[in-house]
Chain A
């Protein structure tokens, strides 16, 4: 199989796997936003940078899948007045921390490696979200 055909096949597989989840996510978010009152989110997210980024990172770590979904969810959370720091921590931990793939990572790359890497990625998501918000304030 030529490189061109292989790339086409991989992209097709990517599309095939991503689109159902993407459409499902968009539909589910639209539904949840229609049902859940907007002020409910403020009960989870307090406005405190450290607590909000911790919660954002926690939710992001538990999630998995194409990062596109995290952007859509993140933008909707921003519209619901969830703080930017929480949304950034959520988006970053979505792609850097892998609770779902942890067993595979631990099996193939070592348990200690997987624990340290994911733990540090979790802390990084919190620190990066706070730093990003601080820098964006000056831009």
Chain B
């Protein structure tokens, strides 16, 4: 039944409905737990709402300026230093769910794109400019800078190992 619901209305909504049902049960059986949980949720939401708006504004601009046609043009046929740096930046700038990029990357791979560039691109999708305000809000600027630096470095190592072992 849940599977059918997921297909019909999507995982996100089913998940939300299930959690709300849990809250409904809690309201019936334990009012104090219900109000404690609602208060905690309200506090978290109140903390993040402005940052969340900023995240979606930045996501809009990322969607506006970056398309997978541009990736195709820039990455094709480059497995050198420029290619690595391009893959890093394209990975950072890319938007949408990761699986959306698999068909394009698969096609580029068939056309001879080096697997190291694909791995670097996929790894850098973890570095998201629109989400940086959120990371800063929760963990601070030093954390953002240090972890981003290491992630970029390790993305290139990732590319190297993937190319070596595949």
Chain A contact residues, CB within 8 Å of chain B: 3-4, 6-8, 10-11, 14-15, 17-24, 26-31, 33-35, 67-68, 71-72, 74-75, 88, 92, 95-96, 98, 101, 104-105, 108-110, 112-113, 116-117, 120-121, 124, 127-128, 131-132, 135-136, 139
Contacts and interface: CB of A to CB of B under 8 A. Distances in A.
**What does DSSP make chain A's interface, helix, strand, loop or mixed?**
helix
24 contacts: A3-B64, A7-B61, A15-B56, A23-B45, A24-B15, A24-B20, A26-B44, A27-B37, A30-B44, A31-B19, A31-B37, A34-B40, A71-B134, A71-B138, A75-B139, A88-B143, A88-B147, A95-B126, A96-B126, A96-B151, A108-B103, A112-B166, A124-B154, A124-B157
Interface of B: 10-13, 15-16, 18-20, 22-23, 26, 33, 36-41, 44-45, 48, 52, 55-56, 59-61, 63-64, 67, 95-96, 98-99, 102-103, 105-106, 109, 115, 118-119, 122-123, 125-126, 128, 131, 134-135, 138-139, 142-143, 146-147, 150-151, 154, 157-158, 161-162, 165-166
A17 B103 contact: no
Contacts of B138: 71-72, 74-75
Given A33-B40, A116-B161, A131-B150, 9 more contacts: A17-B12, A26-B44, A27-B19, A31-B19, A34-B33, A110-B166, A128-B147, A128-B151, A132-B146
Nearest to B125: A95
Contacts of A96: 123, 126, 151
B77 to A, nearest CB: 18
Contacts of B157: 120, 124
A113 B12 CA distance: 30
Contacts of A117: 119, 122-123, 158, 162
